[in-house]
């Protein structure tokens, strides 16, 4: 079994959240020496820096020693003027405006679809390469939708230093976590149908949802009525259909993202995908049950071998001790964990597999994937 990569070297507000659903730290928190500043590096901007993913952008940039010559911390007018510490400097958060991107090479966006729709094209017109974490541009033709381990070729025409800006979309967190595991198997045996059931953490709804889950848990344990500001029902000690709007076909938006994004990323409109997305009271890591049907046969031992060698994937599949991936084990980790690898007995021969996948929604499901995209531009 491969070892996880764990990153505990940067402290930000997420570390103040409850220890429930968070792993025991195996390393002490240490003070980082600022190593990322380089005169030859690109200039960066982080849009939505005060949010859960915005803070994780900074953590990942620091953990991976991403080179930069300057970095702008951008947020709403409400946050402008506040100070933020990153590596060995204190920055003043600036209000996001149309002039925020002058001289910026790469902008990491995670401030919601409306902000991305307004400011993403403005930044690209100023020569900035935008890596956007919202759904604003994912299904826009000619905007690459990229998971670096899966389809890096999609952004091959985008370069820094040309003065030409661009938009690159980060896929939905559930899509990233699913396809990190499904794609290596797809390359070997060609997936013809995929059935996904997701068990999605509070982090997918933002920092406020994470805080509300903590608050509700305390309230319920104390016999008080739970505060329901983010969701319209009790979240603690409960689960419910994903809170995304329901569409005319009966699917919700989150489920259709998995359908449409998979087809775009795999460049295959014929693959059949269906999904059911559920919100569960877990802090920051998603889990997914994935059933795969293949054009060509693939047995479970071959699948396990393929997955064990796949970049960004770790196999946790110990039947003897009934040990398989859990959200706790992948929280604050880069790798997506895969287990419960078994032949689908409802299909004849080796044409179907069931797998169980867990991944940190804030990290690989959002911030890490975006920073990996930025790394490909260097």
| Angle in degrees, CA 257, 246, 181, rounded to 5 | 30
By the 8 A CB rule, do 269 and 259 touch? Answer: no
| Angle in degrees, CA 210, 211, 215, rounded to 5 | 120
Active-site residue, 242 included = no
Q: How far apart are the C-alpha atoms of 275 and 124, rounded to whole Å?
A: 33
Count of other CB atoms within 10 angstroms of residue 305: 13
Cα 341 to chain center, whole Å? 23
Active-site residue among 7, 173, 178, 186? Answer: 173
Active-site residue, 286 included = yes
Active-site residue among 7, 186, 242, 286? Answer: 286
Count of other CB atoms within 10 angstroms of residue 35: 12
Alpha-carbon distances, residue 231 vs 111, 212, 239 (angstroms): 19, 9, 11
How is 106-164 classified by DSSP, letter by letter?
EEEE-S-HHHHHHHHHHHHHTTPEEEE-SSSSTTSTTS-B--TTT-GGGGTT--TTSS-
Known catalytic residues are 173, 286
């Amino acid at each position: 079994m491969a070892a996880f990569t764990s990153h505990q070297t940067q402290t930000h507000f997420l570390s103040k959240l409850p220890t429930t659903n968070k792993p025991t730290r195996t390393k002490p928190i240490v003070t980082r020496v600022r190593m990322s500043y380089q005169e030859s590096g690109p200039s960066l901007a982080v849009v939505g820096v005060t949010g859960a993913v915005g803070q994780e952008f900074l953590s990942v940039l620091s953990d991976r020693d991403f080179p930069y010559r300057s970095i702008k911390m951008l947020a709403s007018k409400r946050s402008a003027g506040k100070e933020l510490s990153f590596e060995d400097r204190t920055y003043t958060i600036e209000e996001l405006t149309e002039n925020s991107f002058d001289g910026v090479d790469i902008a990491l966006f995670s401030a919601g679809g409306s902000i991305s729709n307004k400011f993403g094209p403005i930044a690209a017109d100023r020569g900035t390469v935008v890596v956007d974490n919202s759904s604003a541009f994912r299904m826009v033709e000619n905007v690459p939708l990229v998971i670096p381990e899966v389809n890096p070729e999609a952004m091959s025409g985008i370069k820094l230093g040309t003065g030409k800006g661009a938009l690159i979309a980060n896929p939905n967190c559930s899509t990233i976590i699913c396809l990190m595991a499904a794609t290596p198997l797809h390359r070997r045996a060609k997936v013809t149908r995929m059935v996904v059931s997701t068990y999605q953490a509070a982090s997918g709804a933002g920092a406020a949802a994470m805080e509300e889950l903590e608050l509700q848990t305390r309230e319920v344990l104390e016999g008080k009525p739970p505060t329901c500001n983010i969701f319209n029902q009790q979240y603690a000690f409960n689960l419910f259909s994903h809170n995304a709007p329901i569409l005319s076909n009966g699917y919700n938006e989150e489920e259709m993202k998995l359908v449409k994004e998979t087809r775009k990323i795999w460049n295959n409109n014929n693959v059949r995908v269906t999904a059911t997305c559920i919100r569960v009271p877990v802090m920051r890591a998603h889990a997914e049950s994935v059933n795969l049907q293949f054009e060509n046969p693939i047995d479970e031992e071959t699948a396990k071998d393929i997955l064990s060698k796949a970049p960004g994937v770790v196999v946790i599949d110990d039947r003897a001790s009934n040990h398989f991936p859990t959200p706790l084990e992948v929280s604050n980790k880069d790798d997506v964990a895969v287990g419960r690898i078994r032949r689908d007995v409802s299909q004849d021969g080796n044409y179907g597999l069931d797998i169980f996948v867990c991944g940190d929604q804030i990290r690989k499901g959002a911030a890490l994937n975006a920073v990996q995209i930025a790394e490909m531009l260097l």
